[in-house]
Structure formats: C-alpha cells, structure tokens
Amino acid sequence: MKEILRDVIDSTENRIGRVVSLFIQALILVSVVTFSMETIPDLEPETRAILHKIEVFSVLIFTLEYFIRIYIAERKLKFIFSFFGIIDFLAILPFYLIIGIDLRSLRALRFLRLFRILKLVRYNRAMN
C-alpha cells in the first residue's frame, strides 16, 4: 500500500502521479486566489460562502496529502521537521486554528495561508 501511495504522491513518472501533482498545483493556485479574493471588503455573502467551501475543500486535500506523506515517509520525524514537512504543516495550520474560535484580533494567522505558495516549490523540477 505504501508503494502505491508513494507512486501516486511522490512520482511524476506515471500518469496518476502526474495527474495528482498537477491537481495539487492547481489547488494551491486556486487556494491563493480565493485567499486574495476574501480580502475584498464588499463581497456578497454567496460569494463568501463559495470561497469558504473552496477553502475547506483545499485544506482537506492538503491535510490528506500531508498525512499520506507522513505515512509513506521512511523516517517520519525527519519528514515532519524537513523544509517541505514544515511548509505543508504551516499551509494547513491556520485553518485548524481558526475553526470555532473568534480570532479577529489574530487575523495575521490567516497570512500563514500564503505558505501554500511555498508548497509549489516541491513540484518545481529545478528544485528537485
């Protein structure tokens, strides 16, 4: 099972790996765009609701990816504290910190969502 997941998550040598990689990259870009759109002051409530649904979907996928990466890692702690492990964690952390808590005074935490841009580094061939 780990090998199959490793081929899907870590490899772009096969079709499904490439599709997953492109999907995650597109989701990162969509997530950053929706984050930017949320800052527009006079958005309609329906638009805010759609943006929130996109945010929830994105975070769920990023969380799943993060836990799969931990699961398939040969040295789990090494991955968790690696550059990419920390970036993946910081990309999802603000969502979970804000759930159910009024953190208006800590809106800067939302800025941490921009760490999702750094997730794109993982998919850059030049970096690899």
Going from the C-alpha of 41 to that of each of 44, 59, 107, the distances in angstroms are 9, 23, 15
Q: What is the pLDDT along the chain (128 residues), one digit of tens a residue?
A: 888 999 888 887 889 988 998 999 899 889 888 888 888 888 899 999 999 999 999 999 999 999 999 999 999 999 999 988 998 998 888 888 777 665 554 555 555 666 676 676 666 654 44
Residue 28 contacts residue 87 (beta carbons within 8 Å): no
Reference 116, options 58, 64, 47; nearest CA is 58
- Counting every residue written for the chain, the total comes to 128
Can you list the domains of the chain with their CATH numbers? 2-123 (1.20.120.350)
How many other CB atoms are found less than 10 A from the CB of residue 127?
Answer: 9
Threshold 0.75, pTM exceeds = yes
